[in-house]
Amino acid sequence: MDHDPLPGDHPETGHVSTGALPPDTDVQALVSAGYERYRHLGEGAVAGYIPALAAASPSAFGVCVAGVGGRLFSAGDADQEFAIESISKLFVFALVCHALGHDQARRKLGVNSTGLPFNSVMAIELNADRTMNPLVNAGAIATTSLVPGTTAEEKFESIVAAMSRFAGRRLVMDGGVYESEAATNDRNRGIAHLLDGYGRMYCDPDLATDVYTRQCSVRVSARDLAVMGATLANGGVNPVTGEQAIETSYCKRVLAVLATAGLYEQSGEWLYDVGLPGKSGVAGGIVTVSPGKGGLGTFSPPLDAAGNSVRGQHITRYLSEALGLNLFASAPFA
């Protein structure tokens, strides 16, 4: 389906439907209560397939909520840094929307959860590693291949600069994580070459995989993730620095893709429980966005079978409910 421009593509003429966070003291009390509620939860296992991540402490746990007014509320290890991993995919997609326009990005990458018909038997048989959307590895490496720049250094600098605008501080790569991943990512290189064969890779596949591995190794904290999420919740303007990190009209596109695929094969259950777009990473981070209200960042390394942080999912579900963030919730007209 081709699309004609709508008023909502131009922020000054479109209306938005959002509310506000509860008062500051309530938000901090609930963030602290959620932290206490889940800090001793023992489920999940730290990711083992990337050697440098296997050494993470299972007890590390941090949470931060950033309001669109720029206020931060945190508990636990909210300043501890870890590799952003798959959460980088969403910010690189945002960058590519900016570089190509969201329609071109959709055409080149896809924005569906499976990309197959409603009654497809193949959809059950295939795993997620296809260029169906920018948040599974195939689509993510294809997305990285579209980033402005010719050399790996130029492309990576475009990515770090873009992610740093979201975080409001200059982010840096963890060299140890990068080397560890680069030495063990034959699978991602294979995916990139396979896509190249299908004409769905937009630069040299090894270069794209290398830049992708670097972007996954960028260090962030739960606090950074909260601010990055709040930027997407705030029409693309970082609520702490006031800098525009992404065009307003692209935020809703990026969030729609997150809602569809941000937690991989558990995205439907996540949406059912939390009612908000979110994105997880294999080092234990999750970023969640409450449009018009704020962003949530969580960090806890033990993961479930799909690779999503166990404590992160629990506390985000708790806070979505307690702070009244679920996008699908309504009260009867009085």
Q: Contact residues for ligand GLN (CB under 6 A)?
A: 85-86, 137, 181, 188, 216, 281-282, 307
H or E segment to which residue 191 belongs: helix 186-197
Least distance (Å) between residue 332 CB and ligand GLN: 40
- Detail the DSSP E strand segments found in 128-228: 219-220
| Strand locations in 242-293 (E) | 278-280, 285-290
Which residues, including other chains, have CB under 8 Å from residue 74's CB and lie 6 or more apart?
Answer: 31, 62, 63, 64, 65, 222, 223, 226
Question: What number of other Cβ atoms are within 10 A of residue 2's Cβ?
Answer: 4
Reduced to 3 states (helix: H, G, I; strand: E, B; else coil), residue 72 is strand
Closest to ligand GLN by CB, 158 or 188 = 188
Using the minimum distance from each CB to ligand GLN, give the nearer residue, 66 or 216: 216
CB-wise, 67 or 277, nearer to ligand GLN? 277
Q: How far is the CB of 174 from ligand GLN (least distance, A)?
A: 12
Per the listing, tokens 């966005």 go with 289
List the structure tokens of 331. Answer: 């009260």
* CB-nearer residue toward ligand GLN: 157 or 265: 265
SS3 126: coil
For the bound state, the minimum distance from the C-beta of residue 15 to ligand GLN, rounded and expressed in Å, comes to 36
Closer to ligand GLN by Cβ: residue 75 or 138? 138
Q: How far is the CB of 283 from ligand GLN (least distance, A)?
A: 7
Nearer to ligand GLN, 181 or 224 (CB): 181
Looking at the Cβ atoms of 56 and 216, the one nearer to ligand GLN is: 216
Q: Minimum distance between the CB of residue 86 and ligand GLN, rounded to whole angstroms? A: 3
Using the Cα atoms of residue 245, residue 66, residue 75 and residue 262 in order, give the sign of their dihedral. Answer: negative
Nearest distance from C-beta of residue 179 to ligand GLN, angstroms? 13
Smallest gap, in angstroms, from Cβ of residue 96 to ligand GLN?
17
Is the Cβ–Cβ distance between 262 and 273 less than 8 Å?
no
Backbone angles phi, psi at 300, to 5 degrees: -165, 115
Measured between alpha carbons, how far is 136 from 116 in angstroms, rounded to an integer? Answer: 15
